[in-house]
Amino acid sequence: MNIWFGQKHISFAEILAGKWGEVDDYQRQILDFCQQWLGGQRVFVRHTSGSTGKPKPIELRREQMRASAMLTGQALGLQRGMAALIGMDCNYIAGTMMLVRGLEIGLEMHVVAPTRNPLLAIDDVGQIDWATCFSALVPLQVQAVLDDVVSAERFGRLHCVLIGGAAIGQGLLERLISAETPTLYHTYGMTETVSHIALRQLNGEAASERFIPLAGVELALDGRGCLTIRGPMTLGKLVVTNDLVELASDGSFVWLGRIDNVINSGGVKVNAEKVAAALSKVLGNDRVFVVGLPDAEWGEAVTGFVEGEPMQLPTLAGLSRYEKPKQIHFVAQFSLTSSGKVDRGATVRGVLDG
């Protein structure tokens, strides 16, 4: 098996031996990790993405990373000799786990530097076995891929794609649900659970609104109604989340939002995700988020942030007077974390300080 950087390919044996010749800094970081993995290193440190707080280092053990990789391979039907297209930053857990899946299952890995549209960055198109190739992307990347004719055609030839790292906006979701190929999965997980612990198929006959946990994952609710997780990828330890879910007896669940994204406006609890979804729908724009900002009258004022040019806001049907935003800010471009996710805190500060 090999890692491909464009036309250059390096076998797993050459990686272990450190025989990879001239490479750039990002490629060297990837090869260093792969060499450590192939050499049997037991502990690795990765940082959280920073999308829900300040990035922090997380120590992960080889056993839990391998368990996650093999369970994903089982769920997706990945087999030795298939291919993986890796366009996420491998310094963060989602990209790292793409490498681990490739190393453990035995996949031909095609790596491109992280960019908004990784399917346009490929210069070894003919080397990829598209019919057996799987990939993982964030929603922002998927949107860019589908908006380009060339990359959209390549996307349709993939075997399957994991989409995670953020909620999928309604407009993009509708496009994905109607896609015939590839098979698409929305993921649920975090760095602490070594990427995803559950998958929701978005298209095809098995499409569902519910996330299905990977084999061996035990889910429950704590006293707040938030999800708790225990499984092979947590080494049997309980992980307590701030995610509100509707949990069924079979372990499947619907994600409702984060408890720390609940806004107390005038004494009424408002779900920020619900308001953001309503805004996204009427504006036809998935680049939306909603937060509560301090307010003398309401305690917290429901406030929307929209990426794009200012426009007249249509009527927001289905929202109570407490849920309707008291103010909406249009921002030319959201601030992003180093892993490419929307940095809500920096975006809000930029607007308020401006």
Tell me: do 171 and 309 sit in the same domain: no
Q: pLDDT value at position 49?
A: 65
Is residue 255 included in any domain, yes or no? no
Rg, Å, the chain Cα set: 21
Q: Is residue 260, in this structure, part of any structural domain at all?
A: no
Do 175 and 63 belong to one domain? yes
Six token digits for residue 322: 């407490």
If asked whether residues 117 and 194 sit together in one domain, one would say yes
On whether both 316 and 210 belong to a single domain, the answer is: no
Considering the domain architecture, whether residues 193 and 321 belong to the same structural domain is answered as no
Q: Residue ranges of the alpha helices (H) in 178-302?
A: 272-283
Residue 300: what pLDDT? 87
pTM attached to this predicted model: 0.83
* 152 and 61 assigned to the same domain: yes
User: Which amino acid is located at 302 in the chain?
Assistant: V
Domain match, 205 and 284 both: no
Residue 222 belongs to a domain: no
CATH code of the domain containing 22: 3.40.50.12780
Distance CA 253, CA 150 (A): 36
Per-residue pLDDT of the chain (354 residues; tens, 9 = 90+): 999 999 899 999 999 999 999 999 999 999 999 999 999 999 999 887 655 556 778 899 999 999 999 999 999 999 999 999 999 999 989 999 999 999 999 999 999 999 999 999 987 678 899 999 999 999 889 999 999 999 999 999 999 999 998 888 888 999 999 999 999 999 999 989 999 999 999 999 999 999 999 999 999 999 989 999 999 999 999 999 999 899 999 999 999 888 888 898 877 889 898 999 999 989 989 999 999 998 877 888 999 999 999 998 878 888 988 899 999 999 999 998 877 788 888 899 899 887
Last residue of a domain, one of 183, 216, 249: 216
pLDDT in the model for residue 125: 79
On whether residue 245 sits in a domain, the answer given is no
Single-letter amino acid, residue 299:
G
Q: What is the pLDDT of residue 302?
A: 93
Do 47 and 175 lie in a common domain?
Answer: yes
Neighbouring C-beta atoms of residue 24, cutoff 10 Å? 9
When divided into structural domains, the chain yields a total of 2
Residues 291 and 143 in one domain: no
**What is the structure's pLDDT at 51?**
55
User: Tell me, what's the pLDDT at 108?
Assistant: 97
Q: Are residues 96 and 189 in the same domain?
A: yes
- 270 shares a domain with 210: no
Contact 253, 211 (CB under 8 A): yes
**pLDDT value at residue 50:** 59
**94 and 170 inside one domain:** yes
Domain stop point among 216, 231, 252: 216
Return the pLDDT at 269.
Answer: 85
Q: What is the pLDDT of residue 171?
A: 85
256 lies in some domain = no
Which SS3 state, helix, strand or coil, does residue 303 take? strand
In a domain, 242, yes or no: no
Q: What is the CATH number of the domain that holds 319?
A: 3.30.300.30
Residues in the chain: 354
User: Would 259 be classed as within a structural domain?
Assistant: no
Which of 193, 216, 239 is the C-terminal boundary of a domain?
216
Domain membership of residue 253 (yes or no) is no
* DSSP codes of every residue in 102-150: IIIII-EEEE----S-GGGS-S-GGG--GGGEEEEE-HHHHHHHHTSHH
**Would you state the pLDDT for residue 52?**
54
Q: Which domain holds residue 115?
A: 2-216
